[in-house]
Amino acid sequence: MSPTPVDADTRSLRATWAGLWPYLRQDLWLYGLALLLAPATAASTMIQPWILQRAIDHAIVPKDLKALGVEATTFLLVVLGGFLFQVGHTLLLSLAAMRTITRLRHAIFQHTITRSQAWFDHQPTGRLLTRATNDVETLGETLTAGAITIVLDALQVVGVLSAMFWFDAKLTLTLLLVAPPLGLFLEFVRRRLRGLFDAVRNALAEMNSYMSERLAGVEIVQLYADEARTLGQFEARNKAHAEANIRTNVYDALLYATVDGVTSVTLALMLWYGSGGILSGVLTAGMLAAFMDYVGKLFRPVQEFSSKVAVIQRAVASLEKILGLLEVQDAVVGGDVTLAHPKGHVKLEHVSFAYGDGPTILHDVSLEIRPGEVVALCGRTGSGKTTIGKLLTRMYDGHDGTILLDGAPIETLATGAVRRMVGSVQQDVQLFPGTVRSNLTLGHEIGDDTLMAAVRMVRAEDVVARLGGLDGRVDEGGKNLSGGEAQLLSFARTMAHDPAVVVLDEATASVDSLTEARIQEATSAILSTKTTLVIAHRLSTIVGATRIVLLDQGRVLETGSHHALMAQNGSYAALFREQFHELATE
């Protein structure tokens, strides 16, 4: 079965927001406090036009300066109170949103790094980065200034409408005739924006993925003068992202402009109606001013709602992608058994394996490696050598047959216990920016004496000394190290963790002959006490192994020591003579 795509999602709107609940509920008290301040903020907004009406009708028109002072002071206090309530509301929402988003980002990263290697084989890094960065930030924007603040907007609308009915019920009902068509228009745009923002998130993920891949391989791009084609392909993705954004901006602008236009027309009608009311004695100047102020305050939340619709729809699209990632269950599931004192006894019984829905790589492989043995796997490319090493380190799951570590089925062992027992030195070395110490320990508590002992075992003292000791810096990707030096540090890292089983997967394939000799010297001194599985194309590196296993198209073809296999004069002997001839003619 193929790994689940990150972006596959068909959930409902309600289910989408419900998926955020586990990350939001711990901050519910903060959201609750923010909501408690919303009525006070709405009340201050609702009272202001009423105070304005009193100031005009009871102070300005009769020219009562004392009453004007009282009304002005009252208005100022109400405005200041509303300001303080609004600040508190915003600060509480921001704090709650940041706590929620921080927790969600942690969950995304924790979930991602625990997926199986089979899943990562099908996931572009740029897409995963988009989920953890851009999509999370979009959701945070909504929590801060979108979904929750709509409650405040709703309270303001209800309060303003109540006040308007109190002033003039007939006129208010007339104004509400614009509400149904405006509401239908808002719902149409909301639905349209949801699909458009989903396209924007997909286009952004595609663009980020392409950029990440090409930047990681920029040396190849430059070596083959592929800059123009690469830029053209990026530009196509960049253009698709821009066009998707433009379409959303058109609907967003149309929504805002429509609400703004309705507001202006309504205010003009109010001015026309109110002027006639004043002349006929039905309305006072203060009532007209207050009513027009109420109309402005009524449509302001509607205007803000139009922009918040866009924010919320962006968040819905982002949240769907995030939840799609968090629901991926493609992980290697381990048991709960641990081995207190692992001996390093490895046994494969009739093991077969295929990567996902691909062809079978291993066919009924049986192999036993006793503690202290050095067993070498050899064979042509694609014979399944590396796959056996990956199964032993639990990078992949789903094999048929049985893999035993110290007599325990590997799937019953805790994944961490398996990886503490089985160490691996790979051909492609991965070093992280930081100190030599951090690259050797990888967060585990390992003393400096143990680290330096491992460094000396692999003859890497001069490498560590050149970098400045254990506190010396390692550049990103190990750029300040040669390939051989990086491999020696990788070897030291494995030895520092003291695994019972060591898998050397083409560990000397990319190093010079001098470095290879140093590694061979180190292995001869160290690995006699460990179970060792050597995976190699270069047969000259495995002639001293206790036993050699020749694989061909995923099947064990021959087994024995180097001398026994040469005497047998079979496939191994032919392969060895072929390589020896190639080396002699180089």
pLDDT for res 8: 44
> Token pair for residue 355?
């990567």
Handedness of CA 543, 545, 551, 555 (dihedral sign): positive
pLDDT for res 50: 82
pLDDT for res 271: 66
Residue 361 burial (C-beta neighbours within 10 Å; 0-12, 13-18, 19+): buried
Chain CA centroid to CA 23, Å:
15
| Amino acid letter for position 330 | D
pLDDT for res 512: 61
Mean pLDDT per 10-residue run, the chain (586 residues)? Answer: 47 72 86 82 81 80 81 87 85 85 86 81 77 80 70 75 77 70 72 75 81 73 76 88 82 72 69 59 68 74 68 78 82 83 91 88 92 88 88 89 92 89 84 88 89 88 91 85 84 88 74 66 64 78 84 92 90 83 46
Yes or no: say if 247 and 198 are a contact pair by the CB < 8 Å rule: no
Q: State the DSSP string of 115-167.
A: S-HHHHTT--HHHHHHHHTHHHHHHHHHHHHTTTHHHHHHHHHHHHHHHHHHH
State residue 8 phi and psi, 5-degree precision. -75, 120
Pairing mode, strands 501-505 and 422-426 = parallel
> Token pair for residue 201?
């998130």
> Token pair for residue 330?
């493609």
* CA separation for the pair 555, 362 (Å, rounded): 6
Chain CA centroid to CA 19, Å:
16
**Domains parsed from the chain with CATH numbers:** 13-326 (1.20.1560.10), 346-585 (3.40.50.300)
What predicted TM-score, i.e. pTM, was given to this entire model? 0.70
